[in-house]
């Protein structure tokens, strides 16, 4: 029986709990089932899928750090054709909501994977990983509001029954764009946007904040970078409070007024990290790095959130979204 304290509505998508397994940290699809009871998590996000299969970067691809981890996997994934033939048929049997993650190096890449994922009935939402360099413009799609808006205008009409979530990079300085500029491009992509999807919105149904933060780690004995790619994406406790701020800013500056739910992602190791993101404005949270330390962390986090909700005197955690005082 779903717990009334924990049941979550993510842009009309009912989740059993607000705790979701983050893209790329829980296998391609349901591999975590061997070590985690998936019926007790809110949803899982697949590995990011590109049109063609990708081998990924040379090792080492992951390095443990004092306050988290660094990764440069290089989007290793089976590609959309193999995903459709080998993985999608199994999605139906997974006892939680499956969110498909899409990555690409051009708007056409996203269009192709989005159209294929829209046809999979057991994938009711997709999350666009826009932290990929665009081959034509040479910048990350997710760092440029103009490109982002174009991406949303192109992908939105292809998603007929599927919710659209956009996962933004962690913009901290506002030079040249702020996180709110990026969020606005996804929510209000401008002229020519066709309202589509179950919520009939011209822009995205929800935002995920955020992807990893660029970082580097050096082995001081060998004087070599700790991962093969040289630099990578930082995750875990090291990024948590950066993300709390970005969720708070996005919630108060645009998401709340446009009724756009936020999925908070970054260094959620324990229930109070998740609670902090909820108070900052997140409707749900994703857990990534914590899974490497303890695959059962999502269940423990959900239990802690339930206790917290009771202590705070609410009947459902949604009553605490953005409820920071002062
Ligand atoms: C090993 C690893 C692989 C990842 N792969 C992806 C991916 O394929 N797509 C994506 O959108 N994010 C990917 N991420 C980022 C996570 O989904 C998440 O945004 C990030 O790790 C921050 O959350 P955390 O601090 O809880 O780990 C990956 C992270 C790690 C550690």
CATH, residue 205: 3.20.20.70
**Domain contains 274:** yes
- The predicted pLDDT at position 134 comes to 74
Helix (H) or strand (E) holding 117: helix 107-118
For residues 19 and 309, give the distance between their C-alpha atoms in angstroms, rounded to a whole number.
14
State the distance from the centre of ligand 1 to the C-alpha of 23, rounded, in angstroms.
Answer: 5
286 domain-assigned: yes
Answer whether 225's CB lies under 8 Å from 231's CB.
Answer: yes
> Does residue 112 belong to any structural domain of this protein?
yes
Handedness of CA 48, 49, 52, 55 (dihedral sign): positive
pTM: 0.98
What is the C-alpha to C-alpha distance for residues 197 and 157, in angstroms, rounded to an integer?
Answer: 7
Q: Is residue 84 part of a domain?
A: yes
Residue 80, pLDDT > 90, answer yes
Write out the two tokens for 232: 């990578």
Residue 305 pLDDT more than 90? yes
User: Is the model's pLDDT at 238 over the cut of 80?
Assistant: yes
Domain containing residue 53: 8-320
Residue 46 placed within a domain: yes
- Pick the catalytic residue from 132, 186, 204, 210: 132
Q: Which atom of ligand 1 is nearest to the CA of 61?
A: 1
Structural domain includes residue 184: yes
8-state DSSP, 133: B
Q: What is the pLDDT of residues 129-176, one digit of tens each?
A: 999 877 787 779 999 999 999 999 999 999 999 999 999 999 999 889
Concerning whether 210 is annotated as a catalytic residue, the answer is no
Percent of the chain with pLDDT over 70: 100
Instruction: Verify whether ligand 1 is closer than 6 Å to residue 169 (CB atom).
Output: no
Contact 27, 13 (CB under 8 A): no
pLDDT of residue 133: 74
Q: Does residue 32 have its Cβ closer than 6 Å to ligand 1?
A: no
What pLDDT does residue 306 have? 98
Assign 28 a pLDDT band (cuts: 50, 70, 90): very high
Which numbered atom of ligand 1 lies nearest the CA of 45?
17
2 inside domain: no
Which run of H or E residues covers position 187?
A: helix 179-187
What is the tens place of the pLDDT at every residue in 87-129?
999 999 999 999 999 999 999 999 999 999 999 999 999 999 9
pLDDT at 221: 98
pLDDT score recorded for residue 314: 98
Give me the pLDDT at residue 175, please.
86
Check whether 200 has a pLDDT greater than 90: yes
pLDDT of 78 strictly over 90: yes
The domain tally of the chain equals 1
Q: Looking at ligand 1, which residue's alpha carbon is closest to its atom 12?
A: 23
pLDDT of 94 reads 97
Q: Which pLDDT belongs to residue 326?
A: 80
Protein residue closest via CA to atom 28 of ligand 1: 24
Bond before 26 cis per omega within 30 degrees? no
CB of 211 sitting under 6 A from ligand 1: yes
Q: Cα(311) to centroid of ligand 1, in Å?
A: 31
Does 3 fall in a domain? no
pLDDT confidence of residue 48: 97
* Mean pLDDT, the chain, whole residue set: 96
- For 212-263, the DSSP string reads PEEEE-EETTTTEESSTTSEEEEESHHHHHHHHHHHHHHIIIIITTTT--EE
Please identify, by atom number, the ligand 1 atom nearest to the C-alpha of residue 235.
Answer: 25
């Amino acid at each position: 029986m779903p717990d009334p304290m924990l049941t979550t509505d993510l842009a009309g998508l009912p989740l059993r709990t607000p705790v979701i397994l983050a893209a790329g940290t829980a296998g391609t699809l349901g591999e975590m089932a061997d070590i985690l009871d998936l019926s007790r998590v809110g949803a899982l996000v697949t590995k990011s899928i590109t049109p063609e299969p990708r081998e990924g970067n040379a090792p080492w691809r992951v390095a443990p750090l004092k306050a988290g981890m660094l990764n440069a996997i290089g989007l290793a994934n089976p590609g959309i054709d193999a995903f459709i033939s080998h993985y999608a048929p199994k999605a139906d049997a997974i006892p939680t909501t499956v969110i498909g993650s899409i990555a690409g190096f051009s708007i056409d890449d996203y269009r192709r994977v989005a159209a294929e994922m829209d046809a999979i009935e057991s994938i009711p939402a997709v999350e666009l990983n826009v932290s990929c360099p665009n081959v034509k413009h040479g910048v990350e799609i997710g760092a440029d509001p103009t490109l982002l808006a174009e991406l949303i205008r192109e992908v939105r009409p292809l998603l007929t029954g599927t919710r659209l979530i956009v996962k933004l990079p962690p913009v901290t300085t506002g030079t040249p764009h702020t996180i709110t500029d990026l969020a606005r491009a996804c929510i209000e992509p401008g002229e020519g946007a066709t309202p589509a999807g179950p919520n009939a919105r011209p822009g995205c149904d929800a935002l995920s904040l955020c992807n990893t933060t660029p970082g580097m780690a050096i082995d001081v004995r060998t004087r070599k970078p700790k991962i093969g790619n040289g630099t990578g994406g930082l995750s875990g406790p090291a990024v948590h409070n950066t993300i709390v701020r970005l969720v708070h800013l996005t919630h108060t500056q645009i998401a709340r007024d446009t009724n756009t739910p936020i999925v908070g992602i970054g260094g959620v190791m324990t229930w109070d990290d998740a609670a902090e993101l909820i108070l900052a404005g997140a409707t749900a949270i994703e857990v990534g790095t914590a899974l490497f330390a303890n695959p059962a962390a999502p269940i423990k986090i959900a239990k802690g959130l339930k206790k917290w909700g009771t202590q705070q005197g609410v009947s459902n955690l949604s009553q605490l979204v953005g409820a920071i005082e002062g």
